[in-house]
Structure 1
Amino acid sequence: MGDPVLAMNDGNSAPAHVPAELVIPFDFHSDPLFKTDPFEAVRWQHENAPRIFYSPTHYLLPGCWIVTKAEDIRYVLQSPEIFSSRGQVGFSSLIGENWDLVPLELDPPHHAPLRGLLNPLFSPKEVAKMDAGVREAASRLIAKIEGGKECEFVSTFAQPFPVSVFLQLLGLPLEEMPMFLEWEAGLLKSFSAETRVKSIRSIVDYLRGAIQQRRENPGTDLISFSVQAEIDGRKLTEDEIIGICFLLFIGGLDTVASSLGFHFHYLATHPELQAKLRADRSLIPAAVEEFLRLYSIVISHRRVTQDTEIGGVLLKAGDWVSVPTFNASRDPAEFSNPNDFDLDRAANRHVAFSYGPHRCIGSHLARREFVVAYNEILDRIPPFRIKEGTEVRTNGGAVFGIDEMHLAWD
């Protein structure tokens, strides 16, 4: 595909207030590059695109503004009074229901109390208590592959490692992981409306059953916490409980797994960095931050609540705005050589975990999972590379990821 900036249409498929020269059809999944390198597929957005443009062919929405600069992305993410989170994912509406993902789809003043309820569960202090369980999950999976000379990294480690950690937190059975991953793929990686609806319904029905079980026999897991929690002396509503549980469920299934694929692809293709981290493990936290910047993978959305401007461009109430985290984390105005890995990069202000009031609630746990994964694999797997004769398959969409990657070692 040629540079999308040069493939502008006449503006007829966009609202009247959108200048024709800012209409650029782009859907974040159909370009063939998304199958091999999604970050190359969007590179033009932070190198050769307008500050903001409008795509009438957005993969989830009928039309959407796409922001390309870090300054503007931070502005959108920290201005909920102008850019609302309500309905930004819209899972419940697809099955004829009307609950929000909590607290992701809540705006002030409703957001703060529920966010405040959940924040302590993922504080650095609480994450430190999870360390043994995180290490055990990684160790158990590595034990299955360390005796061989190759593995398909996504299915043997990148997916089951963070998912097993979160299933323990939710009190859900590890043996049902394949079913959960099938639902996750249908929900987040399918572009079929029918498949997405089927996956949402399966997850909701399952979680409602788990919620009812916790009411009858509460435990110490996060679903039990949601069932028993109170705000200002009241129990959470049914919609709040399913909104929390659904968000925790999908949050634990995908983003860390997708990130691990990109991180270890880079290590497999850059043996000098792999050797450096093997020799000096104190460098791993800095490497994690740089990988998070280089491979910011999430696209989120906001709805404009009042007429406003970004870079002198009029956005009208009701418009949708897409804020790709990779556009902020690879903005050349923020980072020198933004498409390169720099272990010594200072002031690494990436937005891999979003920004503002909806900054990722699980960021401390995710960082811990990355550090544990690096250390455990470097401890027990010899220097690894991409297996000769195999292809790395990737995907675009709401969360960029690697679907298949074969590693080999001597």
Structure 2
Amino acid sequence: MTSEVGYGSTPSSDGPVSDWQTDFDHADSAYNRNAPEIWDELRSQCPVAHSERYGGAWLPVTHEHVREIAYDTDNFTSLQVVVTKSRIDPSLAPVGTAPPISSDPPFHKHARKLLLAPFRPDQIAPWEDEVRAICRQRIGDFGDIEPGETVIDAATQYAQHIPPAVISRMLGFPPEDDEKFRGFIHAVLEQVNLDPEVRRETFVDLDAYLDEQIEDHRAHPRDDLTSYLLNAQIGDQQLSHEHVRGSIALLLIAGIDTTWSAIGSSLWHLAQNPADVDRLRAEPELMTFALEEFLRAYAPVTMARLVRDDYDFHGRSMKAGEWVLLPFPAANRDPEFIDNADKFTIDRKENRHSAFGLGIHRCLGSNLARLELRVAIEEFVARFDSFELADPDAVRWSLGQIRGPRELPIRIN
């Protein structure tokens, strides 16, 4: 299978994929659009694909293999979790550039502990009214709806506005900067196969923006996440400026793209499955199970690790410095791990999904993500009795390690 056969999409800037087993590229636009089919094919062939792109990269697609690597902090380092054409200076370990996601043990434990408290369930629950108000405002901004005629983009007009509005409020950043956040996310997470010097310009801009916000908080402290980090300590030491900035970058980027992708994918599913919409309306209690199934079936996040030293992984000779992608969405769809893995079952009772990752880096913002996803779906379904994809072929999926629709035209009926 190649990126040119049966997909009708644009190949990556490094040329078309010749074979997903030996030449995969997650930044090829065919990948996220057809990921479940690609993973199924690879499981029957590999099940650990390899590519020479990005200086060497591996792609395991079974739950067993993804889990094993995610928990193995001895042979795989988290110093860099987004696959690009360049490598970060190894002297930055074990802290990394965006702690705790880029941190290795033993430092990781301390950096993670700092952020667990503000994301506890009792700290996130009070945000529900704010999230609901944001969703209703976005829906109100659609304007007059003409049933059967009006087409809205549920990605660009709805899903992509909710997480930026929430996290900017939590960080104490200007709400008018939401558009900047979307630009940073596109550059950092999607333009991964650009020349390293070109990518570096994006990080210079991002760092400059965050430095400005941090200095404003130093001068005008307030009750928000940014001031919390500025006051935080590890042992008896204040966090370095670089640590504060890196953690804020993590919250800003990882907390936005992952959740808006999950919202968009869930609406993409519902637009094609009116029976599931009807059940959500008739059985509100079903949302408890439906939410976890949306997360399992349309998990957005693939993380990466770097091979620490040459390592034999089940007969695959991984070289030091090569990338290993951890596609948690593929793990969730492994038929050896879960029954009827390829089917969306809205009332699935047993659901041990890995949407929030596995191992020491399991997403610490999962409570916030669940809240935003649930409220976004509830408000959309409550407002529109019937909706469908306006043109399935017009849906455009993301590039890179976060999977979700970037353009999602939906007709309101």
TM over 0.5: yes
In the alignment, does 2:209 pair up with 1:206?
yes
Deviates more, 1:267-276 or 1:316-325: 316-325
In the alignment, does 2:103 pair up with 1:106?
yes
In the alignment, does 2:354 pair up with 1:351?
yes
Q: 1:165, CA displacement in angstroms?
A: 0.6
For residues 135-171 of structure 1, the C-alpha deviation after alignment (integer angstroms, 9 at most, x for no partner) is 1211211222264243111111100011101110111
Give me the whole-angstrom Cα distance separating, in 1, the residues matched to 2:198 and 2:139: 32
Which residue does 1:9 correspond to in 2? none
Q: 1:94, CA displacement in angstroms?
A: 7.8
Give 1:63's match in structure 2, choosing from 56, 59, 63.
56
Kindly provide the amino acid, as one letter, of the partner of residue 70 in structure 2. L
Kindly provide the amino acid, as one letter, of the partner of residue 24 in structure 1. T
CA contact (8 A) 1:64 1:322 kept: yes
Give me the whole-angstrom Cα distance separating, in 1, the residues matched to 2:75 and 2:87: 25
Kindly provide the amino acid, as one letter, of the partner of residue 175 in structure 1. E
Give 2:77's match in structure 1, choosing from 81, 84, 97.
84
Aligned residues: percent identity? 30
CA contact (8 A) 2:263 2:377 kept: no
For residues 364-390 of structure 1, the C-alpha deviation after alignment (integer angstroms, 9 at most, x for no partner) is 110011111111112122211112587
**1:199 to 1:40, Cα distance in 2 relative to 1, 3 A:** farther
Q: 1:104, CA displacement in angstroms?
A: 0.3
Q: 1:29, CA displacement in angstroms?
A: 2.8
Q: Does the residue aligned with 1:156 lie in a helix, a strand or coil?
A: coil
Alignment gaps of 5+ in structure 2: 5-18
For residues 116-135 of structure 1, the C-alpha deviation after alignment (integer angstroms, 9 at most, x for no partner) is 11101101111112222111
Which residue does 1:49 correspond to in 2? 45
In the alignment, does 2:31 pair up with 1:29?
no
For residues 33-182 of structure 1, what are the structure 2 equivalents within 5 Å?
34=32, 36-46=33-43, 48-57=44-53, 61-89=54-82, 99-145=96-142, 147-148=144-145, 149-182=150-183
Which residue does 1:11 correspond to in 2? none
Give me the whole-angstrom Cα distance separating, in 2, the residues matched to 1:41 and 1:90: 19
In the alignment, does 2:187 pair up with 1:189?
no
CA contact (8 A) 2:185 2:253 kept: yes
Give me the whole-angstrom Cα distance separating, in 2, the residues matched to 1:221 and 1:104: 21
In the alignment, does 2:401 pair up with 1:398?
yes
CA contact (8 A) 1:146 1:380 kept: no
**1:220 to 1:185, Cα distance in 2 relative to 1, 3 A:** same
Q: Does the residue aligned with 1:125 lie in a helix, a strand or coil?
A: helix
Q: 1:87, CA displacement in angstroms?
A: 2.5
Q: 1:31, CA displacement in angstroms?
A: 5.6
Which residue does 1:380 correspond to in 2? 383
Q: 1:41, CA displacement in angstroms?
A: 4.2
Give 2:333's match in structure 1, choosing from 330, 333, 342.
330
CA contact (8 A) 1:73 1:328 kept: yes
Give me the whole-angstrom Cα distance separating, in 1, the residues matched to 2:123 and 2:392: 44
Which residue does 1:255 correspond to in 2? 258
Q: 1:282, CA displacement in angstroms?
A: 1.0
CA contact (8 A) 1:299 1:325 kept: yes
Give me the whole-angstrom Cα distance separating, in 1, the residues matched to 2:412 and 2:272: 12
Q: 1:38, CA displacement in angstroms?
A: 3.9
CA contact (8 A) 1:187 1:195 kept: no
Deviates more, 1:206-215 or 1:378-387: 378-387
For residues 210-251 of structure 1, the C-alpha deviation after alignment (integer angstroms, 9 at most, x for no partner) is 111111111111111111111212100122111111111112
CA contact (8 A) 1:214 1:224 kept: yes
Alignment gaps of 5+ in structure 1: 5-20
Give me the whole-angstrom Cα distance separating, in 2, the residues matched to 1:224 and 1:301: 30
Give me the whole-angstrom Cα distance separating, in 2, the residues matched to 1:79 and 1:393: 35
Give me the whole-angstrom Cα distance separating, in 2, the residues matched to 1:65 and 1:3: 18
Q: 1:53, CA displacement in angstroms?
A: 2.9
Give me the whole-angstrom Cα distance separating, in 2, the residues matched to 1:38 and 1:400: 9
Q: 1:295, CA displacement in angstroms?
A: 1.2
Equivalent pairs counted in the alignment come to 388
Kindly provide the amino acid, as one letter, of the partner of residue 127 in structure 2. M
Q: Does the residue aligned with 1:107 lie in a helix, a strand or coil?
A: coil
For residues 41-62 of structure 1, the C-alpha deviation after alignment (integer angstroms, 9 at most, x for no partner) is 444223x2313232112xxx31
Which residue does 2:11 correspond to in 1? none
CA contact (8 A) 1:267 1:273 kept: yes
Give me the whole-angstrom Cα distance separating, in 1, the residues matched to 2:256 and 2:88: 21
Which residue does 1:13 correspond to in 2? none
Q: Does the residue aligned with 2:156 lie in a helix, a strand or coil?
A: helix
Q: 1:317, CA displacement in angstroms?
A: 4.1
Kindly provide the amino acid, as one letter, of the partner of residue 25 in structure 2. D
